[in-house]
Each structure stands twice: as C-alpha cells, then as structure tokens.
Amino acid sequence: MKDKYIVAGIGTDTGKTVVSAILCKALGADYWKPVQAGDLENTDSHKITKWAPESIIHPEAYRLTQPMSPHAAAEIDRIVIDESNLQLPSTDNTLIIELAGGLMVPLREDFVNIDWVQKTNLPVILVANYYLGSINHTLLTISLLKNRSIPVAGIIFNGEKNLSSFEVIQKRSGLQCLLEVDQEESITPEIIAHYASKLRL
C-alpha cells in the first residue's frame, strides 16, 4: 500500500496548497481536498493541476460556495457535512490530503478536522510559518496531535525565515524538518519542482 499523508497548517493561509503541490511532485502523489469552501472557480485542486500537472486530482467530497469555516459555509448551503462521505479515494499511488483550515476548524458544530484526522489514522505533515505568535501556534498544534496519538511525519516551514523561531520549534517539538520554503513572489511549476527536489521525506 502506498503512503498517505494529511497536510495540516498551524492556521489560515499557511501555504498548505503550495506544500501539497511540492509533495505531489516529489512523491508522484495523487491529491485530494475533502472539503473546498469558496473560490469554486479557482479551487485548491485547480492550483495543484497548474503547479503539479502530473498529479491525479480526486474530486472534493464537498464544494461549498462561501469562503468561510466549513460548518458555517455548509449551513449557508443548507447541507450537513457527514463524515461517512469523507472516505479516502481509491488509488494505487501515494495520496496527499489537504485539510480545509486548521485542525480545530469545525466541519459541523460537533465535528472538527482533527476528529476526522484521528479516524483516518494517517500521519500528518504540518505546515508552519514564522509570523509573530507562530511558535505558540506551532507547538500548541503539535501538542494537540500528540495528545490524540496522531503520528506526525514532520514539519515544513513556509515563508520568510526566522532562525530563532526555527530553532525553538525544532528543539521543543523534536520533529524532523522536511523542507523550508522561502517567501516566493509567484508560484510556478518550476518553483514547485525546485522545492520537490529538496524534500527530505
């Protein structure tokens, strides 16, 4: 059986889709975003198709019209997200799964992302940034994963580098840094391929 990884961020706009494209390119992986909330004309699946065109894209289980928390977007669309519809797609390839938002983002009022992640029993690749407060957010996220006994394959850091933050997170988490992605002005297939060649997984 090929590997499957869940890509989770420490917050919103961490660069999960860029990282997912890098992982797809490096691992020859398929891509799946279970829940897409908003921007349906330019979804994360569309971006993966553009940045890692060799990847097979599996259709989202839910396509919500509003760019907000899935539970709220689903309510506006008058649907309820049912975890029984969040079944992993069948594939013979490695699979990269990108969450909608962070681990505590609700899919329903009584069901958050990490509840689903725990049910899958799949390892998480965590995307972290270097903004003010990111040390706290990163370590809290890692603590949450460890408390749920969810395996973490490693961290990918995204954005303008901060050596002090990097060292604190590495030391206190004990997790492997799989890759550092710089702050890029634009994302192209060439940029994705460049980082894919540096992945340590």
Residue 80 located in a structural domain: yes
Q: What are phi and psi of 48, to 5 degrees?
A: -60, -40
pLDDT of residue 38: 93
pLDDT above 60: residue 14 = yes
| Helical segments of 108-187, H only | 113-120, 134-147, 163-173
Whether 26 is in a domain gets the answer yes
Q: What pLDDT score does 190 carry?
A: 97
Residue 161 lies in a domain: yes
Report the pLDDT value the prediction gives residue 12, as an integer from 0 to 100: 82
Residue 56: per-residue pLDDT: 97
Residue 24 pLDDT level (bands cut at 50, 70, 90): very high
98 in a domain, yes or no?
yes
Does 198 qualify as catalytic in the annotation?
no
Residue 65, pLDDT > 80, answer yes
Computed over every residue of the chain, the mean pLDDT equals 95
Tell me what pLDDT residue 129 has.
93
Decide if pLDDT at 85 tops 70: yes
> Residue 51's domain is classified under what CATH number?
3.40.50.300
Q: Is the pLDDT of residue 100 over 80?
A: yes
- 131: Cβ–Cβ under 8 A, 6 or more apart, which residues? 159
Does 201 map to a domain? no
Q: Which domain holds residue 14?
A: 4-196
Dist CA 37 CA 62 (whole Å): 8
Q: Would you say residue 85 lies in a domain?
A: yes
Q: Which of 25, 83, 32, 73 is nearest to 50 (CA)?
A: 25
Q: Which of 4, 16, 33, 47 is catalytic?
A: 33
Query: Which of the four pLDDT bands, split at 50, 70 and 90, describes residue 73?
Result: very high
Q: Which tokens belong to 17? A: 């889709």
What's the confidence (pLDDT) of residue 11?
A: 87
- Average confidence (pLDDT) over 128-153: 95
In a domain, 130, yes or no: yes
Note whether residue 41 is domain-resident: yes
- pLDDT of 1 over the 70 cut: no
Q: How many domains does the chain have?
A: 1
